[in-house]
Amino acid sequence: MSDCIFCKIANGEIPSQMAYEDDRIAVFHDLEPQAPVHVLMVPKKHIASLDAAEAEDSALLGHILTTVKKVAAELGLENGYRLVCNCGQDGLQTVQHLHFHLLGKRQMSWPPG
């Protein structure tokens, strides 16, 4: 999508602090980190939200999830981490391109706000 900020970051049009990249996904540091380590894992394909993902996206979503541990290890999250996907209005999704927040390097609490 031409006016999507995360599409532009993923294809390099807008510079970002990239933590990991391959042919299908990009991982970059959040502009407003909520933890000492806070990166966003996004598919290069524009998918508006988890709710908009289709069966044909299963391999792509699986690839993101199985890449988490590699990114976490590279970022030094040996004590654990949290993966968050905000979806839709109630989920407080503010950018309409599917992304998973990977947060770490601090003790998390529960329940989330």
Q: Write out the residues near ligand 5GP by the rule CB under 6 A.
A: 5, 16, 28, 30-32, 40, 86, 92-95
Nearer to Zn ion, 2 or 89 (CB): 2
Catalytic entry in 29, 38, 46, 99: 99
Per DSSP, 56 falls in state G
Calculate ∠ Cα 89-33-80, nearest 5°.
95
Active site residue 99: yes
What is the spatial distance between Cα 21 and Cα 25, in angstroms, rounded to a whole number? 6
- Which residues here bind Zn ion, judged by CB under 5 A? 1, 4, 6-7, 46, 97
* Distance set, CA 33 to CA 77, 85, 101 (Å): 15, 15, 10
Nearer to ligand 5GP, 16 or 67 (CB): 16
Nearer to ligand 5GP, 30 or 57 (CB): 30
Q: Which helix (H) or strand (E) holds 29?
A: strand 25-29
List, by residue number, the catalytic residues: 99
